[in-house]
């Protein structure tokens, strides 16, 4: 099947939405891990980056999918409101509600961090903590539902896999961490928090990203293996990336550039600290390079999955 009904706007939404949801969930969990940021070695400044990123990325992505709506393209700009006049068991219906809720909560969560003098224990702290508790499940739900949405259709054998949602969620968390790491590496001032803490946070992010990349490798392996070991529609669909038209993009663009390379670079810097407790030190340039690679990989994954899913369909008639 070569009818691309979902194009770049959807791919960008899956990428940006996933990244924003991941950044939001990671920020909130980091924030909550340090007891709401008021314990020693506060992660407050560092949770702030994710909190500010999340709504921007998700709103940008959501704006993209609105552009892809047939109703919007024919001038019925507000017909998408119909999504919120009902709720049913369609993954898109539930997803829209979850997405809308995430946007509202993430905006409120970002607002609690917005003032330059926002600090642990200020007037908004209680609200901030409550919102953070909501941000973790909502972020994971937004990251997951896109995979469920694509996976719900037997007519799309490439997508019709329960592990696709898992893949999207892990990738969302990984790109979310990379997004926080990137803006931090580019814009953060080491002086605001102590250089020690700055490096500690770098280590925390890099090591968790390394873990997520490892997990992503396992999930992508399972995705491919089960597709390859079956017969019929799924196997035919999977052959698009196993030797077919999209193989180069998948293996070089996603697996090599987006997983293996950043994973190896992270290992080089993280393992000495992880295994031998050496002080963690990573050049900013390297940090930026890792993030860019992870983000490129995240985009490539969405691109390959969305296109390959539409190129393939049931075989036979």
Partner 1 sequence: MSEHTPKASRREFLLKVAGGSAAVATATALPGVVTSADRPKRYAMVIDTRRCVGCQACSVACKTENEVPLGETRSWVEFIEKGNFPNVRRSFLPRLCNQCEKPQCVAVCPTGATYKRSQDGIVVVDADVCIGCKYCVQACPYGMRFINPVTGAADKCDFCLHRVEQGLVPACVNTCQGRARIFGDLNDPASEVSRLLSSNATSVLRPEMGTEPMVYYIDADHTDARDAARQSIYIRIETNRRQKERV
CA–CA separation, 223 and 259 (whole Å) = 15
- Which residue stretch of 18-26, 47-55, 86-94, 244-252 sits at the interface with partner 1 (rule: CB under 8 A)? 86-94
Contact letters (x/-) for partner 1, 156-185, by CB under 8 A? Answer: x-----------------------------
Q: Does 3 bind partner 1 (CB under 8 A)?
A: yes
Alpha helices in the chain, H assignment, sequence order: 8-33, 44-68, 70-73, 91-114, 125-151, 163-187, 195-229, 233-238, 247-248, 261-276, 284-311
Within 6-65, which residues bind partner 1 (CB under 8 A)? 6
Closer to partner 1 at the Cβ: 272 or 313? 313
- Identify whether the C-beta of residue 3 lies closer than 8 Å to the C-beta of residue 16: no
Q: First-to-last CA distance in the chain?
A: 13
- Which residue stretch of 33-41, 71-79, 247-255, 273-281 sits at the interface with partner 1 (rule: CB under 8 A)? 71-79
CA–CA separation, 176 and 53 (whole Å) = 9
Give 237's contacts (C-beta < 8 A, 6+ positions apart). Answer: 156, 157, 158, 227, 308, 309, 312, 313
Length of the chain: 317
Q: How far is the CB of 85 from partner 1 (least distance, A)?
A: 8
Residue 165 is encoded by which pair of tokens? 């949602």
Give 198's contacts (C-beta < 8 A, 6+ positions apart). Answer: 188, 190
Q: How far is the CB of 81 from partner 1 (least distance, A)?
A: 9
For every residue of 24-42, DSSP letters joined together read HHHHHHHHHHTGGGTSSS-
Answer for which of 40, 75, 243, 276 binds partner 1 (CB under 8 A) is 75
Contact letters (x/-) for partner 1, 220-259, by CB under 8 A? Answer: -------------x--------------------------
Answer for which of 23, 110, 149, 166 binds partner 1 (CB under 8 A) is 149
Q: How far is the CB of 83 from partner 1 (least distance, A)?
A: 6
CA–CA separation, 207 and 274 (whole Å) = 8
Q: Does 100 bind partner 1 (CB under 8 A)?
A: no
Answer for which of 114, 153, 264, 281 binds partner 1 (CB under 8 A) is 153
Site residues (vs partner 1, CB under 8 A): 1-3, 5-6, 68-76, 79-80, 82-83, 85-86, 88-93, 95-96, 149, 152-156, 233, 310, 313-317
């Amino acid at each position: 099947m070569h009818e691309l009904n979902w194009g770049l706007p959807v791919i960008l939404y899956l990428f940006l939405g996933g990244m924003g949801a991941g950044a939001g969930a990671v920020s909130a969990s980091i924030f909550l891990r340090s007891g709401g940021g008021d314990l020693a070695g506060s992660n407050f400044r560092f949770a702030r980056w994710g909190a500010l990123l999340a709504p921007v990325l998700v709103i940008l992505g959501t704006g993209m999918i609105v552009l892809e709506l047939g109703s919007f393209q024919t001038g019925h700009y507000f017909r998408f409101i119909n999504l919120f006049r009902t709720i049913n068991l369609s993954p898109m219906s539930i997803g829209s509600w979850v997405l809308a809720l995430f946007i509202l909560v993430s905006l409120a969560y970002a607002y609690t961090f917005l003032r330059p003098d926002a600090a642990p224990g200020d007037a908004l702290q209680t609200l901030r903590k409550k919102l953070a508790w909501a941000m973790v499940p909502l972020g994971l739900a937004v990251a997951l539902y896109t995979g469920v949405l694509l996976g719900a259709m037997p007519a799309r054998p490439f997508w019709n896999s329960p592990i696709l949602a898992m893949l999207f969620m892990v990738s969302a968390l990984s790109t979310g961490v990379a997004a926080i790491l990137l803006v931090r590496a580019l814009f953060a001032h080491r002086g605001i928090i102590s250089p020690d803490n700055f490096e500690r946070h770098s280590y925390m992010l890099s090591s968790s990203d390394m873990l997520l990349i490892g997990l992503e490798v396992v999930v992508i392996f399972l995705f491919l293996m089960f597709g390859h070991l079956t017969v019929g529609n799924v196997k035919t669909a999977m052959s698009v990336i196993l030797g077919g038209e999209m193989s180069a993009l998948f293996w070089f663009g996603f697996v090599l550039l987006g997983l293996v390379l950043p994973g190896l670079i992270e290992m080089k810097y993280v393992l000495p600290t992880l295994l031998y407790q050496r002080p963690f030190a990573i050049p900013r340039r390297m940090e930026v390079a890792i993030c860019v690679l992870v983000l490129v990989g995240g985009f490539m994954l969405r691109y390959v999955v969305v296109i390959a899913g539409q190129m393939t369909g049931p075989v036979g008639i």
